[in-house]
């Protein structure tokens, strides 16, 4: 599938129609999903009806915005009216949702075409997302928990899909699948109608083909919502207008130390090259360390376990045997934790958030960069990474670099930054001040343009001719 911007130009010029784009998306899902398992439900009838409505709007001269007529996937923890929300778990009922989640309503009002529900790691609690395969290597994981969304975008089935992010679940699959993934500031996007994992850490956002797609998506998704008290009443800028401003004059922190080490050598080399590239584009790069981030994992899991257990308490009591044993263990542990442990985790979270705020202020930073992850995509049967003499569980390795930005609530963007020696994607993470997604996207767009890696395609991908007729 082409990018949102390319699709929009083709739609408005008459080179294609939303029906053609949607039929192409449905055909790509049918052709590829046997290998990828990116979708748990495809709504062909609903998608084609929405596509026809978008075509009618275009013909009548009504422009609903950048997502009008564009196929979109929705992670299966988000309610879509008429489709079940199973959260990747047999413990959830198969009854269809009665109403759209707030963000789905926003998408529909913008003319976007919902093609189906993407696969999530069970209860949005994991980094593997079985049975989804990574389009770059079918024996590798796509990341999680928004693995279906990452695989669907990377494979070109849709140019955009919705993910959720509690400890990295948008940015992890973005990094492993070579897509763009944006976790906006906590409260920037309404969570009404979305199943929770940990309510104080959960964020929603897009996985997209390009940075421009992510900017266009956030313009639609962001804003206050009376149904979600945590949704902030902060003005939403036109993010797309800042994408071509470059980074000349910006101060960008380059993180070292905790929580980056250890990391794979190819990732370290790609990160160093990314820092040099941004410096070459005119940014002032400033080396920074934030020692408090070494406590990030303890704080993350100290919050996730009790909050997830509280949310899924009824499920644990009524259908525990239907929950994956590993996730069930986490939930039971959350129920058994003494409240003081949760409060200590909240204190650690505050220490992490305050340290990041001080780092931005003391160094006068506009943005902060890290490798999105310290390693590339793990094999499906791998439990651990070996970093030289250090053995680390895959889950902990991935979450230690992404989790701090859930704890702090800061916006964080992952963009493709290169490939390791096996041809597996590497991501660059760009964080910014609260509600300054505009700067993160601006840096990401500059890097994307200068790095020139975004055009590389995975082996399992829909051919471009599925999407647009040549003109």
Q: Provide the annotated active-site residues.
A: 75, 145, 169
C-alpha span between 116 and 73 (Å, rounded): 5
Structure-block tokens of residue 429:
């993470």
Q: Tokens 């009404």 identify what position?
A: 192
The pairing of strands 203-208 and 160-165 is: antiparallel
Q: Where are the alpha helices (DSSP H) in 37-101?
A: 44-59
Task: Please give the Cα distance from 222 to 184 (Å, whole number).
Answer: 9
What is the per-residue DSSP string for 161-221? EEEEESSSTTHHHHHHHT-EEEE--TTSB--TTB--S-TTT-EEEEEESSHHHHHHHHHHH
**Sign of the dihedral through C-alpha 430, 106, 11, 62:** negative
Strand order, beta sheet including 284-289: 39-42, 113-118, 71-75, 160-165, 203-208, 180-183, 412-419, 425-432, 367-371, 251-256, 284-289
Specify the 3-state DSSP secondary structure of 263: coil
384 Cβ neighbours under 8 A, 6+ residues apart: 391, 392, 393, 394
């Amino acid at each position: 599938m082409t990018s949102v911007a390319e699709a929009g130009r083709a739609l408005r010029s008459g080179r294609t129609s939303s029906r053609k784009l949607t039929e192409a998306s449905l055909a790509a899902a049918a052709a590829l999903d046997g290998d990828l398992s990116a979708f748990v439900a495809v709504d062909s009838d609903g998608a084609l009806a929405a596509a026809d409505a978008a075509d009618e709007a275009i013909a009548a001269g009504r422009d609903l915005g950048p997502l009008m007529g564009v196929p979109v996937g929705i992670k299966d923890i988000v309610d879509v009216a008429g489709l079940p929300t199973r959260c990747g778990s047999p413990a959830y009922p198969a009854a269809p949702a009665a109403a759209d989640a707030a963000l789905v309503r926003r998408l529909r009002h913008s003319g976007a075409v919902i093609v189906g529900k993407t696969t999530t790691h069970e209860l949005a609690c994991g980094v593997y997302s079985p049975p989804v395969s990574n389009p770059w290597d079918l024996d590798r994981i796509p990341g999680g928990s928004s693995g279906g969304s990452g695989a669907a975008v990377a494979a070109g089935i849709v140019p955009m899909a919705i993910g959720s992010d509690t400890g990295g679940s948008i940015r992890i699959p973005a990094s492993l699948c070579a897509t763009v993934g944006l976790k906006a500031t906590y409260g920037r996007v309404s969570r009404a109608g979305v199943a929770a994992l940990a309510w104080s850490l959960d964020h929603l956002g897009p996985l997209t083909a390009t940075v421009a797609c992510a900017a266009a998506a956030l313009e639609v998704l962001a804003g206050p919502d009376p149904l979600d008290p945590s949704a902030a009443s902060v003005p939403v800028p036109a993010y797309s207008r800042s994408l071509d401003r470059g980074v000349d004059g910006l101060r960008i922190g380059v993180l070292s130390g905790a929580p980056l080490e250890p990391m794979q050598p190819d990732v370290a080399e790609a990160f160093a090259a990314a820092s040099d590239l941004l410096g070459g584009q005119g940014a002032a790069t400033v080396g920074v360390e934030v020692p408090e981030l070494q406590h990030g994992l303890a704080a993350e899991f100290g919050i996730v376990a009790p909050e997830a257990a509280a949310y899924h308490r009824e499920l644990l009591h009524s259908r525990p045997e239907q929950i994956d044993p590993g996730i069930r263990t986490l939930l039971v542990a959350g129920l058994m934790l003494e409240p003081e442990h949760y409060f200590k985790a909240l204190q650690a979270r505050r220490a992490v958030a305050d340290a990041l705020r001080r780092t931005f202020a003391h160094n006068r930073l506009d943005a902060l960069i890290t490798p999105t992850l310290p390693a590339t995509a793990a094999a499906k049967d791998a439990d651990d990474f070996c970093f030289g003499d250090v053995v680390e569980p895959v889950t902990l390795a991935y979450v230690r670099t992404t989790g701090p930005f859930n704890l702090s609530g800061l916006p964080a963007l992952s963009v493709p930054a290169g490939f390791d020696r096996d041809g597996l994607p590497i991501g660059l993470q760009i964080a910014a001040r609260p509600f300054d997604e505009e700067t993160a996207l601006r840096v990401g767009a500059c890097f994307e343009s200068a790095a020139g890696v975004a055009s590389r395609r995975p082996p399992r991908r829909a051919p471009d001719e599925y999407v647009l007729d040549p003109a």
